[in-house]
Chains A and B, each alone.
Chain A
Amino acid sequence: MQTSPLKTLIAAVSLMAATHAHAEPQMATGQAMAWQCAPCHGVNGQEFSEAMPPLAGMPVKQFMDAMLAYREGTRPAVIMDRVARGFTDEELNAMAQWFAKQPIKPWEQTTLQESLSAQQAGAQAAGEKQ
């Protein structure tokens, strides 16, 4: 669910007050969130031979349609409805941009160099630093 910018601001300010050691940023990076999906979908979404579908190279719209449908409960799911309800539209979009840039081939056949370039391209597409 999208939170209003004002609510986010208030939340951020009160969090800062509570923890003061950290200036709490607004959002995790698409990359950092996407890494969290690896135990099911493969490293960087690059698993192509299992029941859990690959995410690497998925077009942004296809990713967003799927995730929004899981979140709203309009697409049948065993686990993804629960996962999708953890993310805002903005967060989903950042992950969508990042996954779209990952190579469409198994992780085992991807070199570190190749992946670092792809991960950087993903971060740039998601409009993040690096």
Chain B
Amino acid sequence: MSQFAQSLSNGKLGRRELIKRFGISAVAASGLFGASKNAYAKSAPHVVVLGGGVGGSTFAKYLRFADSDVKITIIEQYPEYITCLRSNDVIVGYHTLDELTFNLDTVQSKYQVNVIIDKAIGADFDKKTVTTAKGQVIAYDKLVVSPGIDFKFEDYEGHSKELAETKIFHGYKAGPQTLALREQLLSVPKGGTAIIAPPQNPFRCPPGPYERASFFAEYFQKHNPTAKVIVLDPKDRFTKDGPFKKAWERLYGYQTDNSLIEWVSGSDGGRVLSVDGKNNSVETMAGTFKADMINLIPNQRAGKLAQILGLTDASGWCPIDRFTFESSLQKEVYVLGDSTIADAMPKSGYSANSQAKVCAQAVADTLRDRPLTKSVYANVCYSLAGDNYGVSIAAIYEVRDGLIQPKGKSEGVSPITDKPAQPILEAVYQKNWQREFVKDVFS
């Protein structure tokens, strides 16, 4: 037992004395608030978090690390959270949705976070209150918003929310969408075609559509070898395109006559202009494509809640202070994750988790009038180009010239080598990462 813990258990030091020696957080953490279930004092500031996904849940946990004497409440609309991470695996049967389903129970019990299952529908920034669908009005000292993304169906003629829920699925929020895509994939007839149409930048999980294309190809290779995946892309480049295309060459005959994947770039007319749900076809600059399934992943903007709260700018995303993730449009309101304009950081779970930690420290320091420390962020996106073939992109980030930029010479994608062990190891690490990541977020 440390000397600190010993003095505490002997009850030798008074609270005032403890605060003087160890700071307020140490005292609160020691359970000196008697039999009270909560570590924090009644007068503790209240930090309210809207959205208990990757950003929101990580934030609540790490705010507890940064300050034990603060009241934390998460308002999340659903009792369970299904991770998008590895949801591509569910489409091809490498994972089940159950394995990707989590809740906020541990965050609530271990980190003393109040969890309210309800939908946030508005806020009064002058009165500093949040309103929920069930009619609760909750007061905050600091508000944190991490609502994910929203889709721009209107960018495609003939497309709609209804069509996206009945036939032309996106599979970009995990759950029923994921299972619907699985059903469609399994129903592609012999020699059939699956279309994947990725969105314009910026969008959630930049490697997601290309990992999905790889998985579809791998699935066809095993179960339907004359079928084919066509990627209709509005862009000429995509993240990790070097390692992805190399993997496609090695695994799926990419750029041969028998290739299981065909990728149509923006310059070659790949951008989807309109969708015909009845005929299962899409119109592009390069002509009409008919397919047995169409996975159109629409262009995106910040989550609806961020729009309702007026936290978005003309770009549709939320501008933030690069050091703290405080909204540039609303004082004492912080935005995290996919909804934000975070410059070089991609819209990934890793980024949301990283930003949440920096923000938690900044909120704690601000509440205690402590000077802020420098902000360092990280992101690593692992993808599978096949069940046993991993590719990655990584960087550490700092704020330079007013923008979040890669720090040092950290930025880089998997090198393309002749070593067969490299992609196999990356696949092992990828699976390791996913298990570790959800623990960091939810437990």
What's the tally of chain A residues with a CB closer than 8 Å to chain B? 50
Interface 0/1 of A43-82, CB less than 8 Å to B? 1000100111000000000000000000000000011001
Task: Identify which of B148-156, B206-214, B350-358 touches chain A.
Answer: B350-358
Interface 0/1 of A115-130, CB less than 8 Å to B? 1110111000000011
B375 in the interface, Cβ–Cβ < 8 Å? yes
Interface hub of B25, B370, B377, B439 (most chain A Cβ within 10 A): B439
Give the A-B contact count at a CB cut-off of 8 A: 145
Residue on B with the closest CB to A86? B396
Which residues of chain B from 367 to 392 have any CB-CB distance to chain A below 8 Å in the complex? Answer: 370-378, 380, 392
CB proximity of B24 to chain A, nearest CB, Å: 11
| Chain A neighbourhood of B406, CB < 8 A | 86
Contact A87 B396 (CB under 8 A): yes
Complex-state Cα separation, A51 to B380, whole angstroms: 16
Residue on B with the closest CB to A42? B436
Contact A83 B439 (CB under 8 A): no
Contact A50 B432 (CB under 8 A): yes
A19-B402, A39-B350 known; A25-B372 Cβ under 8 A: yes
Contact B374 A130 (CB under 8 A): no
Contact B437 A39 (CB under 8 A): yes
Complex-state Cα separation, A25 to B365, whole angstroms: 13
Contact A32 B373 (CB under 8 A): yes
What's the tally of chain B residues with a CB closer than 8 Å to chain A? 63
A51-B429, A87-B396 known; A82-B443 Cβ under 8 A: no
Contact A22 B407 (CB under 8 A): no
Contact B26 A79 (CB under 8 A): no
| Chain A neighbourhood of B111, CB < 8 A | 112
CB proximity of A58 to chain B, nearest CB, Å: 17
Contact B380 A32 (CB under 8 A): no
Contact A32 B395 (CB under 8 A): no
Task: Identify which of B176-184, B195-203, B409-417 touches chain A.
Answer: B409-417
Give 11 A-B contacts (CB < 8 Å), ordered by A residue. Answer: A23-B371, A24-B374, A38-B436, A50-B432, A79-B429, A85-B409, A86-B408, A116-B25, A117-B2, A119-B65, A120-B22
Q: Kindly list 6 other residue pairs between chains A and B, CB separation below 8 angstroms, not including A39-B433, A86-B408.
A: A22-B323, A35-B65, A83-B410, A116-B65, A119-B65, A120-B25
